[in-house]
């Protein structure tokens, strides 16, 4: 902003709470969860969901484990009313799931809402009215506190009187002073206490007082102070469920919720992936998985987050951003070379530790706060390759995607080639492209030398071989203590031994390769160490091809 623009803004006032206790607390258990995807999330969509789409999303929310689901605003539109009726008529609501309906504090809307609940076994009737000074002044034409409080009390009284008209429905009651985030704390408390008096809650029939950060005006610590102050001062606290409903205007909705829980709240309303008005609602996926990452069971199952994301995107036509925590496509992906190397080492070490201990141990892999497999993601997409990537990342992809466990001292040689190619193309390389590069440049290399044919006597390790160098064939013999050593002596007889073999590795390939074995041979030539790879259905033949590959590669360096 320009300096002259900034003058129109004022700092948000702090809460006087010098003895606040929330900074010293720790979240140790999950709150009650309520999904508002079908109402708050739906009203924020450019194209609201149809009844069929809402039914599909409702089934998803039930499958995840939500026990409280706000299904809509039945008095607002026929689609909203008909959706709740479809849930009832199709017997879609499990016995342990409570549906929540939202309504303004107006008689005709409340009566229509109770009509929609006919046949529902468990319901929360959620009534609200705006209470903030800004809303009182602008929306309600300089309405007094008493007038705003009167709206709340009239709505609460109508609901109280209508509850007995549905004797077969367990109805719990919820009140929200909308715009709690910028309402004077004493006035929010006054209205909530007055509603509580009308509804007369008990330990067995608690009421929910929902304190929405309808607009996020302040830093999360101020929100926490507001919640702690309210929890300390509200009447009949033992009979009240204090609920949070944060928005994300300042980008700190998750932090505000977590601090609000530290401050004493019992319940959280939010949506999958944070869909909602303006910058969105609280992202319940993030808060719940944050808790999981600290060993807290939330009762919500996000073990197949990719499926959840797909269903959400199809129902809402919204797109989950690539970098959204946990749910985004790239959140477990490292392009940076140093990050890739640390992740690979961490995964390798964890695998060894788990195998040694023969049990699960505490998660600890650099740059990964949780195990991607716990939310249905594979390790295959963790490391992806572009010009910023390093040798460890390339080796990881060849290992995880294609089954090649390269010797560590081979990583720089292969990594440099792949990184240069990504830099030249100016983009990320596909896994298939990395495999192709590796095969074209390191595997069974046949130029300038090609192993035309060979025969090895396994009793004496005598080798007879024919090689073609620059199109000229030569045949020779050699003997040694194994197949590779025998071929080395054969090459020496033919005048091609200007190297020494310094390392050899072999492996059975994994992961559906069309060959069974790979071998790696390192040679020293003119003070340069060069690796070559051979692939064959015979591990012995693979070693010979690897030796020839290394010899050929030493000519090009």
The stretches of 133-184 forming alpha helices (DSSP H) are 133-138, 145-162
The CATH architecture assigned to 29-316 reads: Alpha-Beta Barrel (3.20)
Q: What is the C-alpha separation between 310 and 324, in angstroms, rounded? A: 14
**Average pLDDT of span 397-409:** 88
Q: Could you report the per-residue pLDDT of 356-378, keeping only the tens digit for each?
A: 876 778 899 998 999 999 999 87
Residue 115 confidence (pLDDT) above 80: yes
Rounded Cα gap, residues 413 and 440, in angstroms: 14
Per-residue model confidence (pLDDT) at position 426:
86
CATH number for the domain whose boundaries are 337-424: 1.10.287.1400
What is the β-pairing status of strands 449-457 and 462-469? antiparallel
The pLDDT-based confidence of 64 (bands split at 50, 70, 90) is very high
Share of the chain above pLDDT 70, in %: 96
Rounded to whole angstroms, the Cα distance separating 262 from 260 reads 5
Query: Given pLDDT bands bounded at 50, 70 and 90, which one contains residue 451?
Result: very high
Kindly tell me if the per-residue pLDDT of 44 is higher than 90: yes
Strand order in the sheet with 449-457: 449-457, 462-469, 472-479
**Domain coordinates of the chain in residue numbers?**
29-316, 337-424, 449-556
Cβ proximity of 429 and 394 under 8 Å: no
Which residues make Cβ contacts (< 8 Å) with residue 398, sequence separation at least 6? 404, 406, 414, 434, 435, 438
Find, among 270, 195, 181, 269, the residue nearest to 239 by Cα: 195
Measured CA to CA, the distance from residue 10 to residue 216 in angstroms comes to: 14
- How far is the CA of 281 from the CAs of 40, 225, 286, 299, 353, in angstroms? 8, 20, 12, 20, 40
**Whether the Cβ atoms of residue 463 and residue 490 lie closer than 8 Å to each other:** yes
With a cut of 80, say whether residue 432 has pLDDT above it. yes
The residues, ordered by sequence, that sit 6+ positions from 19 with a Cβ below 8 Å of its Cβ are: none
Q: What is the fold of 449-556?
A: Double Stranded RNA Binding Domain (3.30.160)
pLDDT at 377: 85
Q: Are 87 and 56 in contact (CB under 8 A)?
A: no
pLDDT at position 387, please? 56
* Helix, strand, coil fractions of the chain, as percent rounded to 5: 45, 20, 35
pLDDT in tens, 470-520: 999 999 999 999 999 999 999 999 999 999 999 999 999 875 555 689 999
Residue 277 and residue 178 in contact, taking contact as beta carbons nearer than 8 Å: no
152: closest CA among 116, 217, 114, 198? 198
For residue 428, pLDDT beyond 90:
no
Written as six digits, the tokens of 73 are: 């605003």
> Is residue 483 within 8 Å of residue 461, measured between CB atoms?
yes
SS3 string of 293-349? CCCCCCCCCCCCHHHHHHHHHHHHCCCCCCCCCCCCCCCCCECCHHHHHHHHHHHHH
Give this prediction's pTM: 0.77
Q: What is the pLDDT of residues 171-187, one digit of tens each?
A: 999 999 999 999 999 99
3-state SS class at 275: coil
The yes-or-no verdict on residue 459 having pLDDT over 90 is: no
Q: CA neighbours within 13 Å on the CB side: how many for 372?
A: 23
Beta strands in 150-266 (DSSP E): 170-178, 207-213, 240-246
Omega of the bond leading into 204 within 30 degrees of 0 (cis): no
Confidence (pLDDT) at 379: 62
Contact 532/551 with Cβ under 8 angstroms?
yes
What does the alpha-carbon distance between residue 9 and residue 372 come to, in Å, rounded to a whole number?
A: 43
Q: How far is CA 54 from the centre of its chain?
A: 23
């Amino acid at each position: 902003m320009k300096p002259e623009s900034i003058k129109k803004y004022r700092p948000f006032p702090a809460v006087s709470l010098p003895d606040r206790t929330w900074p010293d607390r720790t979240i140790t258990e999950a709150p009650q969860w309520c999904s508002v995807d079908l109402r708050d999330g739906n009203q924020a969509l450019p194209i609201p969901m149809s009844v069929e789409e809402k039914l599909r999303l409702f089934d998803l929310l039930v499958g995840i484990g939500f026990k409280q689901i706000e299904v809509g605003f039945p008095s607002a539109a026929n689609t909203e009313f008909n959706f709740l009726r479809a849930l009832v008529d199709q017997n879609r609501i499990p016995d342990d799931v409570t549906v929540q309906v939202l309504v303004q504090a107006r008689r005709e809307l409340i009566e229509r809402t109770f009509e929609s609940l006919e046949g529902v076994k468990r319901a929360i009737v959620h009534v609200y009215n705006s209470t903030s000074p800004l809303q009182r002044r602008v929306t309600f034409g300089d309405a007094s506190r008493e007038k705003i409080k009167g709206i709340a009390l009239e709505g609460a009284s109508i609901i109280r009187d209508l509850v007995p008209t549905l004797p077969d429905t367990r109805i719990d009651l919820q009140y929200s002073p909308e715009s709690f985030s910028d309402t004077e704390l004493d006035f929010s408390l006054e209205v909530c206490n007055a509603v509580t008096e009308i509804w007369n809650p008990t330990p067995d029939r608690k009421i929910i007082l929902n304190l929405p950060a309808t607009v996020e005006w302040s830093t999360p610590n101020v929100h926490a102070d507001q919640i702690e102050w309210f929890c300390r001062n509200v009447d009949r606290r033992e009979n009240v469920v204090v609920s949070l409903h944060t928005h994300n205007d300042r980008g700190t909705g998750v932090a505000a919720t977590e601090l609000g829980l530290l401050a004493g709240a019992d319940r959280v309303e939010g949506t999958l992936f944070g869909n909602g008005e303006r910058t969105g609602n609280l992202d319940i996926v993030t808060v719940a998985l944050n808790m999981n990452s600290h060993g807290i069971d939330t009762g919500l199952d996000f073990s197949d987050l990719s499926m959840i994301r797909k269903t959400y995107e199809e129902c809402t036509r919204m797109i989950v951003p690539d970098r959204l925590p946990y749910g985004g496509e790239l959140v477990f992906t490292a392009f940076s070379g140093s990050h890739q190397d640390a992740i690979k080492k961490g995964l390798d070490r964890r695998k060894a530790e788990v195998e040694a201990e023969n049990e699960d141990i505490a998660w600890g892999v650099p740059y990964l706060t949780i195990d991607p497999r716990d939310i249905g993601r594979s390790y295959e997409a963790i490391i992806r390759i572009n010009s910023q990537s390093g040798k460890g990342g390339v080796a990881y992809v060849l290992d995880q995607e294609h089954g090649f466990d390269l010797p560590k001292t081979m990583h720089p040689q292969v990594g440099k080639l792949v990184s240069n190619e990504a830099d030249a193309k100016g983009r990320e390389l596909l896994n298939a492209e990395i495999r192709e590069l590796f095969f074209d440049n390191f595997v069974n290399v046949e130029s300038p030398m090609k192993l035309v044919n060979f025969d090895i006597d396994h009793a004496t390790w005598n080798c007879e071989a024919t090689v073609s160098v620059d199109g000229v064939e030569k045949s020779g013999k050699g003997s040694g203590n194994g197949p590779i050593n025998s071929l080395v002596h054969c090459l020496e007889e033919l005048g091609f031994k200007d190297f020494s073999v310094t390392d050899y590795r072999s492996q059975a390939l994994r992961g559906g390769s069309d060959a069974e074995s790979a071998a790696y041979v390192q040679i020293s030539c003119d003070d340069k160490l060069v690796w070559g790879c051979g692939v064959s259905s015979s591990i012995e033949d693979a070693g010979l091809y690897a030796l020839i590959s290394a010899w050929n590669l030493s000519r090009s360096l």
